[in-house]
Amino acid sequence: MAASVTCPVTIRIQEADFDIARETALLTKSRTDIGAVVSFSGICRADEDSANIAALTLEHYPGMAEEEIKRHVDEAVSRWPLNGVTVIHRVGRFMPGENIVLVLTASQHRQAAFQAAEFLMDYLKTNAPFWKKEESEAGTGWVEAQARDDEAAARWTKP
């Protein structure tokens, strides 16, 4: 499906926290063509597979990360009739409860917004050039890819 003529895209990688309400307001300001906004916010949780997480550190490959996210946002815009997209991914050290990632997708109708948001999150979990290091009672280590995330992303592959 073709995207609407105007589909503003915001992609940011930053250390600073974000405000979901503010980002949604920026995306929809003065727009009467938007009937649905889907938001996904990823938050640092306190446990993973029964280990208590003290902190999570996210690193990225500057330049490449933004390019890769843009490539997948462009794909989402070409697949669904979107009227706006925002992707904000934080880097740095996070404590449980802190925001990590925000994906906002706007469309005239909810189905496109939901599907595009899910597509983008599946991509961010599997292929975006970010690396996670967990600090827990068991020690500190880099997080390996999860098969469940790869399986979720595989459903978006075009036949």
Structure tokens at 67: 């390019």
Is the distance from CB of 89 to CB of 65 less than 8 angstroms?
yes
Considering the entire predicted model, what is its pTM? 0.87
Q: What's phi and psi for 96, nearest 5 deg?
A: -50, 135
Q: What is the pLDDT of residues 69-125, one digit of tens each?
A: 999 999 999 999 999 999 999 999 999 999 999 999 999 999 999 999 999 999 888
In whole angstroms, how far apart are CA 86 and each of 37, 74, 155? Answer: 11, 12, 22
* Average pLDDT value for the chain: 88
Who contacts 69 (Cβ-Cβ below 8 Å, separation ≥6)?
11, 13, 87, 89, 124, 128
Q: Domains of the chain (ranges plus CATH)?
A: 9-154 (3.90.1170.40)
- Residue found by looking up tokens 């070409």 in the block: 78
Tell me the range of 5-14, 89-98, 148-157 where mean pLDDT is highest: 89-98
